[in-house]
């Protein structure tokens, strides 16, 4: 065992130093000798040393576990939110009912002329009723374009988008397909159904010639992936040109604005809001999430500080007891010619060894435990049909901060015993019982 090997290597160290003293060769202890003596003291008091290292490892392990899961959960939440909401897309709408503004062609053109705007797409939602055989279902009907669906990152579980904006096609959610009598949503692809819509006058051009029968026929082109809402939404998406043709809809209540690369998103938002519209961006949500997790991290830092204070007191106690037990040894070393700085280095190195050993074990153990928790969670999630995910993340700057903290911990807890040992007079130390 390495404890016994270190004891054996240092067994005749005092005799070797004495010989060097007689020969006049010792003016300064070599660093290898100082390091060996530091290891030797840890090996001699292995129970106390292991307990101290264990205390540091547990403290840093808990901090690493909490921080890695905290950062991981934050990254997971941000990743899920931004997955369907790129940070260069602004959602535009009207949140002021006293000054209702619809996104008609004139408003859309004004937004397009703002510096930094790449493109604008609008959407309209109306009340709809869908019919299939004996089934009647109320649903929200959105009027969209294929470009809008691309900006909104709408994905299909079944079917395809191989049709133009002018074709009379509709996309529906799995829940709506089931309510219309399709046991398997995939069976709805290609089926022709009927629907009617209730449209606000603000969205309609009364002068536009249009077809207006009581019910319209439309073909199901695809099933929208609705995993985010656990397939519970009752929605349909039809092409705006189709709704314009049959209902005269020429405006929308909301839209999406794509910002050019390098453009200032806040400046663009400000100019859009000057037109009486409201804007939302995933950046706002990310900022709120960051603020929330920043508060969580502050709590973790306070908790970690308390834990590491206990570990630091344990290290200080270990080194202080070590000094008391080695007072005569310090006196012998000084009598043999050891300098004050040699004794100081010996105790500082001992503190550093304990600190870094406990730190490495704590970092590896905390991160490993976090990964184990993530693995268990994903195993259970897969069994329940939930996609696995990763919620463990350690930023590189946290590792650098942890290394710096370990160094500070070792130095701060070792400096007092080291200073006392280095100032001890040789004769006083030799007389110590």
Read off the pLDDT of residues 120-153 as tens digits, 9 standing for 90 and up: 999 998 989 999 988 899 999 999 998 898 888 8
| This model's pTM is above 0.75 | no
Token digits of residue 356 = 């870094």
Handedness of CA 222, 227, 228, 231 (dihedral sign): positive
Residue-wise pLDDT tens digits, 225-273: 877 667 788 999 999 988 888 888 888 889 999 999 888 888 999 998 8
How many angstroms separate the CA atoms of 291 and 295, rounded? 6
Nearest to 108 by CA among 99, 100, 116, 117: 117
pLDDT of residue 25: 46
* Amino acid 24: pLDDT: 47
Please state whether 248 falls in left (phi above 0), alpha (psi between -120 and 50) or beta: left
Distance in angstroms (rounded) separating the CA atoms of residues 144 and 240:
5
Contact 57, 361 (CB under 8 A): yes
Please report where in the chains the tokens 């009340």 appear, as a residue.
Answer: 127
Q: How far apart are CA 342 and CA 321, in angstroms?
A: 19
Tell me, what's the pLDDT at 381? 83
Strand pairing of 235-239 and 135-144? parallel
State the number of CA atoms in the 13 A half-sphere of 208 facing the CB: 17
330/143 Cα distance (integer angstroms)? 86
Q: How far is CA 207 from CA 107, 204, 213, 250, in A?
A: 19, 9, 17, 11
pLDDT of residue 334: 65
d(CA 213, CA 285): 43
Helix axis angle for 340-383 and 327-335, nearest 10°, is: 130
Angle, helix 46-83 to helix 396-423, in steps of 10 degrees: 160
Residues of the chain with pLDDT under 70: 1-29, 31-44, 84, 95-100, 206-214, 228-229, 322-338, 418, 421-433
pLDDT of the residue at 280: 86
The two tokens of residue 230 are 């656990």
**CA 145 – CA 163 distance, rounded (Å):** 11
Q: Residue 413 has what pLDDT? A: 75
């Amino acid at each position: 065992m390495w404890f016994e090997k270190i004891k054996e290597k240092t067994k005749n160290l005092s005799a070797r130093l004495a010989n060097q003293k007689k020969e006049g060769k010792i003016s300064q202890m070599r660093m290898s000798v100082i390091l060996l003596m530091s290891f030797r003291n840890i090996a001699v008091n292995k129970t106390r040393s292991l307990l101290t290292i264990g205390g540091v490892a547990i403290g840093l392990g808990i901090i690493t576990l909490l921080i890695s899961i905290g950062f991981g959960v934050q990254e997971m939440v941000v990743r899920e939110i931004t997955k369907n909401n790129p940070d260069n897309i602004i959602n535009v709408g009207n949140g002021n009912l006293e000054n209702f503004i619809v996104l008609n062609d004139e408003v859309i053109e004004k937004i397009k002329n703002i510096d930094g705007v790449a493109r604008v797409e609008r959407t309209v939602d109306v009340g709809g009723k869908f019919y299939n055989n004996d089934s009647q279902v109320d649903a929200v009907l959105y009027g969209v374009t294929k470009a809008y669906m691309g900006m909104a990152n709408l994905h299909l579980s079944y079917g395809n988008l191989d049709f133009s904006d002018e074709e009379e096609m509709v996309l529906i959610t799995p829940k709506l397909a089931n309510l219309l009598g399709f046991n398997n949503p995939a069976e709805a692809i290609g089926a022709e159904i009927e629907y009617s819509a209730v449209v606000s006058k603000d969205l309609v051009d009364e002068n536009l010639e249009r077809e207006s029968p009581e019910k319209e026929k439309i073909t199901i082109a695809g099933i929208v992936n609705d995993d985010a809402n656990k397939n519970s939404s009752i929605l349909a998406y039809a092409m705006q040109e189709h709704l314009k043709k049959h209902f005269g809809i020429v405006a929308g209540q909301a839209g999406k604005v794509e910002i050019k690369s390098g453009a200032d998103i806040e400046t663009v938002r400000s100019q859009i809001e000057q037109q009486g519209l409201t804007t939302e961006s995933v950046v706002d949500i990310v900022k709120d999430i960051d603020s929330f997790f920043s508060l969580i991290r502050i709590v973790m830092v306070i908790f970690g500080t308390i834990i590491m204070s206990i570990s630091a007191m344990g290290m200080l106690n270990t080194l202080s007891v070590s000094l008391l037990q080695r007072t005569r040894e310090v006196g012998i070393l000084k009598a043999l010619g050891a300098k004050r700085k040699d004794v100081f280095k010996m105790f500082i190195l001992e503190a550093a060894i304990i600190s870094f050993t406990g730190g490495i074990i704590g970092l590896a153990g905390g991160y490993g435990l976090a990964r184990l928790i993530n693995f268990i969670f994903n195993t259970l999630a897969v069994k329940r049909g939930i996609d696995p995910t990763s919620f463990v993340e350690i930023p590189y700057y946290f590792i650098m901060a942890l290394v710096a903290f370990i160094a500070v911990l070792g130095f701060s807890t070792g400096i007092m015993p080291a200073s006392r040992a280095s100032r001890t007079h040789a004769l006083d130390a030799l007389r110590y019982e």
